[in-house]
Structure 1
Amino acid sequence: MQIISKNTRILYNPLLLREDPTFCFDIDLWWEKDAVVGSAEGRGTTWFVQTSTLTAALRHYRRGGLLGKLIFDSYFFTGWEKVRSIQEFNLLNYLRSKGIPVPRPLASRTIREGMIYRADLLVEKIENARNLVDVLLTTSLGAEKYRLIGILVRRLHDANVCHSDLNIHNILLDVTGKFWLIDFDKCGCRDGENWKISNLIRLLRSFRKELSKRQIKWQESDWQTLIQGYYLPN
């Protein structure tokens, strides 16, 4: 569903979000309700809040790099269909429709101010899950797990979705042994095939980078097993 005014667009799923969607992006209100249950630091602070239906992650879109130090959280407005929060909300719904394990989107908000906009997103928090960096710091994964990662990435690519930041921080493993993909900002559908190889190379670089930085429990032969999973017949 949508709430539309002249300068604001809110998309939300009424089955998942029972709170008033016009107020659910204000972290101060979640504090007043004693519903803030944690946080995570990255480009900015992601707040974990307890809604009436599930635990969710609230993220304000922020720029990175040198430009982010100057502009912080403003983006040039070139049309509602190109807004990052709306694109990510819709993409998550699309991936869910394909049966790909990603967080369920609860709501997105975009506020336009002239030629710029600011945006927020509220999505499901995957409970009892850790990213692969945290997992591999303490334990190695067996061959079957790497094959499952390969199969998951192949399913993403078969849906013609390129994860523009496919790395092992954005792959989660929950306590049931299920893998999840997160953080789909600036991601989207693509035609052709060449980008799929580039996407895999990005993932391989992330394994190698964390191995050199933190000595995660990973070796090159694990990548070959992952690739076997990727190329398994459907």
Structure 2
Amino acid sequence: MQQRDLANGKIWFNEALLSEDPLACFDIAYWQQQNRVIGSAQGRGTTWFVKGENTEMALRHYRRGGLFGKLIADSYWFTGWEKTRSFQEFNLLQKLHEQGVNVPAPIAARAIKSGLTYRADILQQKIPHSQDLVGLLSQQVLADDIWYRIGQTVAQMHRAQVNHTDLNSHNILLDEQQQVWLIDFDKCYQQTGEGWQQGNLARLLRSFNKEVTKRNIHFNQANWQILLEGYHTP
């Protein structure tokens, strides 16, 4: 991880993956001027997909959700550079990536301080030709071996002692090689012990059941049992 100090902020980046100027790469106008914006997705704000020299990337500005987010859209209380959400997500993704867990490679992160608060952005690998499980399960039945590998991937994350506080069916992707990927590690963290891991799994099961009711996705208890078999396989 390389660091660039700014007058009122910091940028962290992986120089092996980012050939572009770290000072400019968080400005969507920079990518638009070069005609390198390849798409976008709406969520809590807009995630922009851009074509870098080394890989396709996803650029996201950190925004608050819920009612509080309507009052204070994108400012966070500053308590130290390494406690900013952008640094923590970058750092956590780097640790998972180094341990072989299928997560987006972190490319760059930025935090800009203003008084007692800061704003933040992150640039990470875009998983090519991938779709989240909800989109896939709305259209088709997944093979048993995929469910098994989903369980294995979640277990691999847990062996790295990472608590994914928003593990749900939208945050698991499948690419065209049928590889399983985990995404959206904002506000996630490493945690000792094992007691919290069942909470992650319970949240994931609730999200599948919710989507069955909401979108009638192809999911049943047999799928879940195969996922658990994969999870518990050493």
TM-score (norm 2): 0.98
2:67 aligned partner: 66
Instruction: Give the drift of 1:230.
Output: 0.8
Counterpart-to-counterpart distance in 1, 2:120 and 2:6: 15
Residue equivalent to 1:156: 157
Give per-residue Cα distances to partners, 1:167-224, cap 9 Å, x unaligned.
0101000010100001100001001211100010000001001000000011111111
Distance 1:193 1:13 in 2: 31
Q: Please say if 1:144 is aligned against 2:145.
A: yes
One-letter identity of the residue aligned with 1:140: V
Aligned identity (percent) is 52
Structure 2 match to 1:226: 227
The correspondence of residues 95-106 of structure 1 with structure 2, limited to 5 A, is 95-106=96-107
Instruction: Name the CA distance, whole Å, in 2 between partners of 1:79 and 1:15.
Output: 26
Q: Which residue of 1 aligns with 2:3?
A: 2
Q: Distance in 1 between matches of 2:146 and 2:20?
A: 38
Letter in structure 1 aligned against 2:156: R
Question: Is the partner of 2:150 in helix, strand or coil?
Answer: helix
**Whole-Å separation in 1 of the counterparts to 2:132 and 2:50:** 19
Q: Distance in 2 between matches of 1:193 and 1:15?
A: 34
TM-score computed with the length of structure 1 as normaliser: 0.98
Unpaired segments of 5 or more residues in structure 2? none
Shift of residue 5, structure 1, vs aligned partner: 2.9
Q: Deviation at 1:81? A: 1.5
Q: Which residue does 2:187 correspond to in 1?
A: 186
Partner of 2:24: 23
Aligned-partner residue type, residue 40 of structure 2 = S
Match of 2:46 in 1: 45
The range that moved more, 142-151 or 38-47, is 142-151
Aligned CA RMSD, in angstroms, stands at: 0.7
Aligned residue type for 1:119: A
Match of 1:194, SS state, is: coil
The letter for the 1-side match of 2:205 is L
1:142-190 residue CA offsets vs partner (Å, 9 max, x unmatched)? 2111111111111110110011110010100001010000110000100
1:6: Cα distance to partner? 4.1
Specify the code of the residue in structure 2 equivalent to 1:30: W
* Residue number in structure 2 paired with 1:107: 108
For 1:58 and 1:116, the matched residues in 2 are separated by 21
1:197 corresponding residue in structure 2: 198
CA distance in 1, matches of 2:72, 2:111: 17
How far is 1:21 from its partner?
A: 0.3
Q: Deviations over 1:54-107 (max 9, x none)?
A: 110000000000100000000000111210000000111100111001111110
The count of corresponding residues between Structure 1 and Structure 2 is: 233
